[in-house]
Amino acid sequence: MTEPTDPDADAPQSDPRSSRPGDPDARSGEARIVSIAVTVTRTGGFAGLRRIWRAQPDTAEAPQWIALIDGCPWDAADPKRDIAPTGADRYMWHVDARCGDAEREAALADPEVRGPWRDLIDAVRAAKKDEPPRRQPR
């Protein structure tokens, strides 16, 4: 009796990492150039100011930024979810990350900004591309 065969067994297997930004292209063996932009918006606080920081790292920094972005639990911070109030004058954070064609968004209450979120937000803030503070419209 013969064993069943898998019709796809001889098909070339694709490397799932090859579709990720910044990873080597499986066919050419060369790294693809990926455009990365991360925007962090902080709202709230005592004066109700909105601060915006942007980072657009160059190609040489792409691997570090991709690691920071991939390390965050994006599914747990869906911007459409209800966020329970955490007290008066607390900050709210919105993170928007674009790696090539991939886009991710997150909304976080101030106490949620820890671990990988803190690392990403601190890196964006350290990039020094910020807008002056603005009062939120009421």
pLDDT digits (tens, 9 = 90+) for 44-62: 888 888 999 999 999 999 9
Would you say residue 27 has pLDDT above 90?
no
Answer yes or no: are the C-beta atoms of 96 and 105 closer than 8 Å: yes
pTM of whole model > 0.75?
Answer: no
Q: Output 90 or 112, whichever has higher pLDDT.
A: 112
C-alpha separations of 23 from 26, 37, 63, 120, 122 in Å: 9, 17, 9, 20, 24
Q: What is the pLDDT of residue 4?
A: 43
Give residues with Cβ within 8 angstroms of 12, minimum separation 6.
none
Torsional class of 100: left (φ above 0), alpha (ψ -120 to 50), beta (otherwise): left
Of the chain, the percentage scoring pLDDT greater than 90 comes to 49
Would you say residue 70 has pLDDT above 80?
yes
Q: Output 96 or 129, whichever has higher pLDDT.
A: 96
**Interatomic CA distance for residues 42 and 134, integer angstroms:** 11
DSSP 117-132: HHHHHHHHHHT-EEPP
**Interatomic CA distance for residues 97 and 134, integer angstroms:** 22
Length of the chain: 138
3-state secondary structure of 138: coil
63 secondary structure, DSSP code: H
